[in-house]
Amino acid sequence: MRKFVFFWLALFGMWVAANESSAADMSPVYKAAPQQAREQGVDGFIDLYGGWQWWKWNPEDFPPGKGNQGGLGAAARVNWWINSPFAIQLDAQSEWWGKTRIFGDASGGWTGTVTGQMAAHIAWRDPNRYAFSLLLGQFAHDDAGGDNTLGWANYGLIGAEAQFYFGDLTLYGQGGVLVRESCSIYCEGVLKDIWWVRGIGRYFFTAKDKLQAEFGYAEGTDTFHIPNTKGRITTWGAEYEHWIDGTPVSVWVGYRGWRFENTNDVSYKTTANEVWVGARLWFGTPSDLKAVDRRGATWDTPKFLQVLTWSSAVADVY
């Protein structure tokens, strides 16, 4: 009797096991949703460029002047994906100008300015739609009057920036403040308490051909003229860049224009036009300009910074 019971219990157990296995085979299989590839790595470029500047200065205290001179520049950008979607980009840039008289008389000063800047862009990025960043930086310059003991200054740069992507078009906006931290013994004519905005449009004819146009405005307190007088800087420009096939190099040609003026002393104003050519050596993951724009070292710094060297020029001659 005992064997008979064990026999039927064994049959029942095998039947239950077979049914569970069959049910398991018929159960739907759920696959994990594919995950979007995470951005990672380090990329950037080294930029060497040269150009020429044509300027016109219209002061009231001295005869009007105009002239031209050559300049050189160097820049580097490094983008690092810390943990996608978060990335940080570090910048360094400097420009040097040749010397020529900016005042219309024999006692006038000389240009020959030097500028230098460093910046960090701490960003949240979606390469398919948009990117947002906090901009922090340092900027230093001497003055266009040629006496760097009178007109040098150091600034702290704070701003916010955003990019929006629409197919082959990128819209890029920046804005913030520039705080004067230190300046020369006289601090005459060196702007302070500056606020600024800048708008940029980039269009990609192909992944390796980019056209960029921009417009910017900055305004700060002029410390040399009448109290509460404002110095205003307007900038505009365009740039075309081409990535050379089969190489990590791109070449570019650009135009930069700007105007500095004083709100009370309207006779003191300077206008300049500049033409630049340069080459960039790229490293890292992106293989074309559009990929760089969306996933690489895409951020930039405002162009009004280089104009600050002219804000103290009138303070050099008494």
Confidence (pLDDT) at 27: 46
Confidence (pLDDT) at 124: 97
Confidence (pLDDT) at 178: 93
Position 120 pLDDT exceeds 70? yes
The CATH code of domain 42-316 reads 2.40.160.40
Confidence (pLDDT) at 174: 98
User: Which residues partner with 162 through β-bridges?
Assistant: 132, 173
CA–CA gap between residue 164 and residue 293 (Å, rounded): 11
Contact 205, 211 (CB under 8 A): yes
The closest of 106, 97, 98, 95 to 65, measured between CA atoms, is 106
CA–CA gap between residue 182 and residue 140 (Å, rounded): 10
Q: pLDDT digits over 13-44, tens only? A: 545 444 544 444 444 544 544 545 666 789 99
Q: State the distance between the two ends of the chain, measured CA to CA, in whole angstroms.
A: 126
Kindly state the average pLDDT of the residues 62-73. 77
Kindly state the average pLDDT of the residues 291-300. 95
Kindly state the average pLDDT of the residues 152-171. 95
Position 193 pLDDT exceeds 70? yes
Position 289 pLDDT exceeds 60? yes
The closest of 112, 114, 140, 109 to 314, measured between CA atoms, is 109
CA–CA gap between residue 59 and residue 225 (Å, rounded): 13
Confidence (pLDDT) at 12: 47
pTM > 0.75: yes
- For residues 37 and 176, the model is more confident at 176
Confidence (pLDDT) at 306: 85
Which amino acid is located at 286 in the chain?
Answer: P
So where are the chain's domains?
42-316
The closest of 52, 100, 155 to 313, measured between CA atoms, is 100
Pairing of strands 249-262, 42-57: unpaired
Quickly state the pLDDT bin for 69 (edges 50, 70, 90).
confident
CA–CA gap between residue 193 and residue 96 (Å, rounded): 25
- For residues 151 and 316, the model is more confident at 151
Contact 139, 154 (CB under 8 A): yes
Q: CB-side exposure of 317: number of CA atoms within 13 Å?
A: 20
Quickly state the pLDDT bin for 142 (edges 50, 70, 90).
confident
Confidence (pLDDT) at 310: 77
Confidence (pLDDT) at 85: 92
CA–CA gap between residue 259 and residue 311 (Å, rounded): 11
Q: pLDDT digits over 235-281, tens only? A: 999 999 999 999 999 999 999 999 988 766 656 778 899 999 999 99
Q: pLDDT digits over 91-110, tens only? A: 999 999 877 666 555 555 56
